[in-house]
């Protein structure tokens, strides 16, 4: 009896313990469920919603690049493309075979598509081809029932209506590389393109705009079920340039057969009305996709089409530099306008002979400063350089914009070089020689300048000695519009007038070196300018006896550079034009081109026509600057 009672009590205790444990467990479970479903319900609801709803970025339309009259230089146009959804096809290779009968699909594209199909989920679209013609796009749409898995699509692509004619200014866009990634999620969007050169690069953030977004519902596998909401992005801002496309195109056509550059500048505001570098390249090729062969052809081209020679080409300025030497002598009080030097075609310094370009004809005879510039007498400027020294020449050169970048809103601008005694000793370890001073006096030796610097020099000469700086985009804010006018470079007005009068004589005087290239009478204005020839190698004695000119059999790279810089109208200067022809031979060749360009400038007179303000509206001519 006692045994049965003890057994019953033990069973009852175990039952109570088990029941208590279950009750405790149930209480803990209910408490946890209450915590999760009530206290933390908002958080888990949000997590579930985030798992169900995806936020996707939408690329905004890129801003346009416009010229001063509102003509589009870079814009967006419809990009007809075809996508492929692998899970909806009867086999990707078979679908690609069908598509290849309608549009070109090369082996490289085919391999790329197959790699992407392997890498991505079967419901994710793969880009097969883009930038299709309307006829190709329409044909695919018509035959769509026979192309399972094929999805025609219309996006936006960058387009450059003026192509190569403005390539070095506008630049181009291309795909984002790993080096371009900055954390901006826009840059990680498939197919997104950013500026890689020119204005497209410099003002990329302004042109890029702000991304939009799309809220889409997805299933557990990430497949899009439907779009719940959509907010389009904010388009990028337009960038308005100072360039006149009509003038730019005319100059591009004129230089099409040369390796050359030309700059047209408003001498008062510094606005660049045209900047051409030839040969050029088609920026649309970078957006559409360039083959390795085409890229190598551009890179290896001996006339360097990828380089903007107007700002990155560095050349000895030759005789176009003689105005700076003359001003250095005048301002230093070492020479007067009336001082005359006798030129017999040659000057001796020690055992070295320095020749004038006219040495075969016995030189120029007696010349004063004005005639020395008009006839480009080397002996006169050898004498001037020897008297004033290279350091004085260098100081004056820097006042006119040589020796440092001018800050144009483009990439790749070079400084040029204004040599000095200290510079040579630091770089070469060899002291400066007096003969090098003489050569510097005619714009040779170590001296280097860009075509843009020569145009700025000409503008500062013609505008009365104001330190105008070049710019290629319209002012974008009120602060810029209220900026102070250019300061004076500190050169006497009387001395400047003497030099510009001599430049008038270069073109319009009976013995001027560019007398054959004065403007036609029907224009009603005169042009002033200065010729320049820059040697790229030393002339041998035999060549000097033959006149110092290289014949047509001379390799292209061994021929002299041809330069000419000018302003007009001579009586009331407004435009400066500089032309540099690489290995063009004679400076008169550059003078002929400059005459044609200046004729176009005077006839079209871009500064007299209305231009666009910052808001894109037309401004009267009086407000352009």
> Which positions are annotated as active-site residues?
319
What is the distance in angstroms between the CA of the first residue and the CA of the last residue of the chain? 121
- 211: enclosing H helix or E strand: none
Tokens 């030839």, residue located = 278
Q: Which of 85, 53, 46, 47 is nearest to 218 (CA)?
A: 53
Residues 6+ positions from 198 with CB-CB distance below 8 Å: 167, 168, 169, 170, 171, 172, 410, 411
The rounded distance, in Å, linking the Cα atoms of 249 and 245 is: 6
Q: What is the DSSP string of 261-323?
A: EEEEEETTT-BEEEEEEES---THHHHH---HHHHHHHHT-TT-TTS-HHHH--B--GGGGHH
CA distances from 294 to 299, 302, 306 (A): 9, 14, 12
Is the sign of the CA dihedral 142, 143, 147, 152 positive or negative?
Answer: negative
- Strand 561-568's sheet: what is its strand order? 272-278, 260-266, 575-581, 561-568, 528-534
99: nearest Cα among 139, 131, 155: 139
558's CB contacts (< 8 A; 6+ apart) are 536, 537, 550, 583
- Of 460, 550, 472, the residue nearest 503 (C-alpha): 460
Give the CA radius of gyration of the chain.
Answer: 36
């Amino acid at each position: 009896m006692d045994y049965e009672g003890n057994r019953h009590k033990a069973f009852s205790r175990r039952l109570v313990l088990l029941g208590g444990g279950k009750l405790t467990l149930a209480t803990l479970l209910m408490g946890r469920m209450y915590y999760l479903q009530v206290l933390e319900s908002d958080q888990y609801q949000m997590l579930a919603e985030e798992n169900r709803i995806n936020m996707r970025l939408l690329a905004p339309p890129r801003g346009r690049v416009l010229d001063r009259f509102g003509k589009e230089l870079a814009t967006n146009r419809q990009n007809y493309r075809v996508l492929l959804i692998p899970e909806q096809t009867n086999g990707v290779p078979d679908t690609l075979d069908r598509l290849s009968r309608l549009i070109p699909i090369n082996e490289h594209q085919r391999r790329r598509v197959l790699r992407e199909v392997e890498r991505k989920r079967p419901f994710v679209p793969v880009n097969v081809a883009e930038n299709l013609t309307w006829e190709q796009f329409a044909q695919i749409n018509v035959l769509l029932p026979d192309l399972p898995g094929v999805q025609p699509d219309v996006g936006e692509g960058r387009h450059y209506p003026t192509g190569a004619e403005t390539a070095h200014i506008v630049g181009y866009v291309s795909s984002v590389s790993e080096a371009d990634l900055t954390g901006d999620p826009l840059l990680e969007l498939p197919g997104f393109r950013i500026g890689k050169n020119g204005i497209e690069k410099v003002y990329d953030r302004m042109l890029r705009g702000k991304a939009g977004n799309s809220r889409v519902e997805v299933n557990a596998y990430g497949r899009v079920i439907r779009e719940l909401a959509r907010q389009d992005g904010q388009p990028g801002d337009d960038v308005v340039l100072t360039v006149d496309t009509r003038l730019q195109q005319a100059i591009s056509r004129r230089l099409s057969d040369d390796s050359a550059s030309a700059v047209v500048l408003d001498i008062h505001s510094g606005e660049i009305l045209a900047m051409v570098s030839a040969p050029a390249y088609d920026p649309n090729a970078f957006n559409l996709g360039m083959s390795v062969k085409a890229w190598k052809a551009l890179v290896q081209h001996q006339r360097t089409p990828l380089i903007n020679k107007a700002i990155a080409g560095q050349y000895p300025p030759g005789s176009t530099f003689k105005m700076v030497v003359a001003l250095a002598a005048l301002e230093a009080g070492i020479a007067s306008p009336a001082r005359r030097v006798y030129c017999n075609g040659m000057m001796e310094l020690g055992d070295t002979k320095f020749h004038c370009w006219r040495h075969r004809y016995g030189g120029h005879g007696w010349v004063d400063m004005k005639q020395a510039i008009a006839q480009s007498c080397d002996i006169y400027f050898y004498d001037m350089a020897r008297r004033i020294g290279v350091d004085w020449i260098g100081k004056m050169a820097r006042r006119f914009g040589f020796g440092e970048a001018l800050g144009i809103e483009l990439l790749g601008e070079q400084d040029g070089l204004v040599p000095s005694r200290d510079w040579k000793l630091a770089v070469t370890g060899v002291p400066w020689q007096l003969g090098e001073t003489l050569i510097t006096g005619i714009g040779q030796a170590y001296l280097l300048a860009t075509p843009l610097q020569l145009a700025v020099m000409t503008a500062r000469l013609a505008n009365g000695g104001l330190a105008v700086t070049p710019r290629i985009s319209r002012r974008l804010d009120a602060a810029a519009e209220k900026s102070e006018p250019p300061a004076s470079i500190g050169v006497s007005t009387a001395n400047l007038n003497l030099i510009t009068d001599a430049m008038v004589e270069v073109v319009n005087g009976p013995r001027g070196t560019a007398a054959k290239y004065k403007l036609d009478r029907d224009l009603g204005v005169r042009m002033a300018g200065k010729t320049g020839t820059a040697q790229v190698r030393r002339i041998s004695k035999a060549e000097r006896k033959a006149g110092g000119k290289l014949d047509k059999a001379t390799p292209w790279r061994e021929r002299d550079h041809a330069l000419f810089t000018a302003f007009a109208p001579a009586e009331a200067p407004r435009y400066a034009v500089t032309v540099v022809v690489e290995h063009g031979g004679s400076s008169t060749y550059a003078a002929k081109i400059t005459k044609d360009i200046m004729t176009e400038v005077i006839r079209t007179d871009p500064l007299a026509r209305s231009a666009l303000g910052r808001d894109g509206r037309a401004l009267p001519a009086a407000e352009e600057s």
